[in-house]
A and B are shown apart, each in its own frame.
Chain A
């Protein structure tokens, strides 16, 4: 479990990014962390990974402060940043030297994941293309069987088949005692993977709900004509309008995450009214 309580954070000589931020992420879920550029997604991921320290408040990962960087916690946490470098060594040497740090490392899972990604590279890791390096790192991260897997823009640089393999691998690897936290702008790549969805805007958690709650409360439909004011949100799309409206007939439907995100960030008051929960543990 990841608990963020009353957390304040600011970069040096910059205005505060987070002020009294609260968030609770429970085991067994693949969380999607969405937000505009500069909303603080990567910063939040870094705080959870112990790479940045909160100025005030608390961040606990499985009951431990990640800022202490205890080896026990780090062996249960794997962070794959949007940008990364791999050392000058072959994949088999990387596995040989770094897998001992992860007690649950599963060599078979690594081979399976690499096969799924059709990863056949033999040369030094740092000479590979960005996409190939990312495939290897994702496979390694999954094979570590860490309880917390944090990925920042994981599908950037992946080719089309690899994106689908990525979703398959992630969905197949989640278990009751694990949390996958994925920050992304590529919501269409994650449409059927992330659940619940957490939206960060201007340093605040402005939305947090799972797919059941979302589909029970709102629905998306496409119209050819301009919608009236009865919609929560609408936007022009090719061949008409995408409209997000309150789901009044309790018929569950697939909600387009991109439309949902735009609705949350452009019509925050309406969406918060609909999704607000008294004494919510995720929104402050």
Chain B
């Protein structure tokens, strides 16, 4: 029996987590289904923006994911349920991993299925009222959707960490922490730009002055390209593991 990860134990845990969340998920999916059907009927009228489907689909699983991830460690808020959860014979990695899968791939799968089902039902309703049967099925594996999914996975690690870190109102507190983080990043970026282009600043004001020649323009462009590259690299490849590790450590340290 491996101390940190055992596939049999993890499977049992995943099954129990799925079952525990099944009833709530079905109720939530039912509500989302109703809203989606109405929205998709609206979008079936001629002249509607095809991009709206992409936005609607993305919003469905991103918002659903945020709410579900923020509630994933709600049992820790109540000492009575926290005792059962923490004394369950599984490692912190398995407990965290199972809830990560439920709140990411589980949500993605559920949202995709419900979206496709809602698209078919909406198309049938339009057909009944004299329109053509053209269900607006979504392909979750387009490049645009895959990019959203990648960002969604990263974002979920943040909200899952918020769920295990904050004892109460984890969704609001995580959102606030996100705002603070973005604000801090903006300040750091500004300070960094101030240091790199110190001769272009007049106090707090960035001025191009007489230096707006080709070489300088290229320098500015390169700077921002590198900044975006670093930001994307950190966001896509470092932030998720960072928050996953932090979350597991926080779970290990949780006392009741």
Interface residues of A (CB under 8 A from B): 46, 49-53, 69-72, 74-75, 77-79, 81, 83-85, 87-89, 93, 97-98, 100-102
Range for the number of chain B residues in contact with chain A:
20 to 34
A146: min CB distance to chain B, Å? 9
Contacts known (A81-B80, A85-B84, A97-B15); A71 close to B90, Cβ less than 8 A: yes
B95: min CB distance to chain A, Å? 9
- Which residue of chain A lies nearest to B5 when distances are taken between CB atoms in the complex? A71
Determine whether the beta carbon of A84 is less than 8 Å from that of B12: no
Determine whether the beta carbon of A69 is less than 8 Å from that of B83: no
- Which residue of chain B lies nearest to A137 when distances are taken between CB atoms in the complex? B84
Determine whether the beta carbon of A72 is less than 8 Å from that of B255: no
Contacts known (A71-B9, A97-B12); A51 close to B78, Cβ less than 8 A: no
Map CB proximity to A onto B245-256 as digits: 1 under 8 Å, 0 otherwise. Answer: 000000010011
A124: min CB distance to chain B, Å? 10
Map CB proximity to A onto B74-114 as digits: 1 under 8 Å, 0 otherwise. Answer: 00001111111011111110100000000000000000000
Q: Give Cα A77 to B82, complex, Å.
A: 16
State which of B16-24, B135-143, B203-211, B222-230 sits at the interface with chain A.
B16-24
Contacts known (A84-B80, A93-B19); A75 close to B87, Cβ less than 8 A: no
Residues from chain B with Cβ under 8 Å of A100 in the complex: 8-9, 12
Determine whether the beta carbon of B86 is less than 8 Å from that of A71: no
Say yes or no for B232: interface residue by CB 8 A criterion.
no
Residues from chain A with Cβ under 8 Å of B80 in the complex: 81, 83-85
Determine whether the beta carbon of A71 is less than 8 Å from that of B6: yes
The interface residues of chain B, by DSSP majority, are classed as helix
Determine whether the beta carbon of A98 is less than 8 Å from that of B16: yes
- Which residue of chain A lies nearest to B86 when distances are taken between CB atoms in the complex? A51
Q: A49-B83, A79-B87, A85-B80 are in contact. List 18 more A-B contacts (CB 8 A).
A: A46-B256, A49-B87, A51-B82, A51-B83, A51-B87, A71-B3, A71-B9, A71-B90, A72-B3, A84-B80, A84-B84, A89-B20, A100-B8, A101-B9, A101-B12, A101-B88, A101-B89, A101-B90
A50: min CB distance to chain B, Å? 7
Contacts known (A101-B89, A102-B89); A71 close to B19, Cβ less than 8 A: no
Determine whether the beta carbon of B83 is less than 8 Å from that of A74: no
Contacts known (A74-B87, A101-B89, A102-B89); A52 close to B19, Cβ less than 8 A: no
B84: min CB distance to chain A, Å? 7
Determine whether the beta carbon of B19 is less than 8 Å from that of A53: no
Q: Give Cα A100 to B1, complex, Å.
A: 13
Q: Give Cα A241 to B204, complex, Å.
A: 87
Give the total number of A-B pairs whose CB atoms are below 8 A apart.
74
Residues from chain A with Cβ under 8 Å of B87 in the complex: 49-51, 69, 74, 77-79
Determine whether the beta carbon of A75 is less than 8 Å from that of B89: yes
Q: Can you report 21 residue pairs joining A to B where beta carbons are below 8 Å apart?
A: A46-B256, A50-B86, A51-B82, A69-B92, A69-B252, A71-B1, A71-B6, A71-B9, A72-B89, A74-B89, A79-B87, A83-B79, A84-B83, A89-B19, A89-B20, A97-B15, A97-B19, A98-B16, A100-B8, A101-B12, A101-B89
Residues from chain B with Cβ under 8 Å of A89 in the complex: 19-20
Contacts known (A79-B83, A88-B23); A51 close to B256, Cβ less than 8 A: yes
- Which residue of chain B lies nearest to A46 when distances are taken between CB atoms in the complex? B256
Residues from chain B with Cβ under 8 Å of A101 in the complex: 9, 12, 88-90
- Which residue of chain B lies nearest to A49 when distances are taken between CB atoms in the complex? B87
Residues from chain A with Cβ under 8 Å of B23 in the complex: 88
Q: Of B19, B81, B86, B91, which one neighbours A70 at CB under 8 angstroms?
A: B91
Q: Give Cα A27 to B235, complex, Å.
A: 52
A75: min CB distance to chain B, Å? 4
Q: Give Cα A16 to B193, complex, Å.
A: 51
Q: Give Cα A53 to B12, complex, Å.
A: 27
B178: min CB distance to chain A, Å? 27
Q: Give Cα A243 to B140, complex, Å.
A: 80
- Which residue of chain A lies nearest to B11 when distances are taken between CB atoms in the complex? A100
Q: Give Cα A71 to B2, complex, Å.
A: 9
Determine whether the beta carbon of B19 is less than 8 Å from that of A85: no
A186: min CB distance to chain B, Å? 20
- Which residue of chain B lies nearest to A88 when distances are taken between CB atoms in the complex? B23
A71: min CB distance to chain B, Å? 5
Map CB proximity to A onto B53-80 as digits: 1 under 8 Å, 0 otherwise. Answer: 0000000000000000000000000111
Residues from chain B with Cβ under 8 Å of A71 in the complex: 1, 3, 6, 9, 89-91, 94
Q: Give Cα A254 to B118, complex, Å.
A: 73
Q: Give Cα A87 to B74, complex, Å.
A: 13
Residues from chain B with Cβ under 8 Å of A78 in the complex: 87
A136: min CB distance to chain B, Å? 13
Residues from chain B with Cβ under 8 Å of A51 in the complex: 82-83, 86-87, 255-256
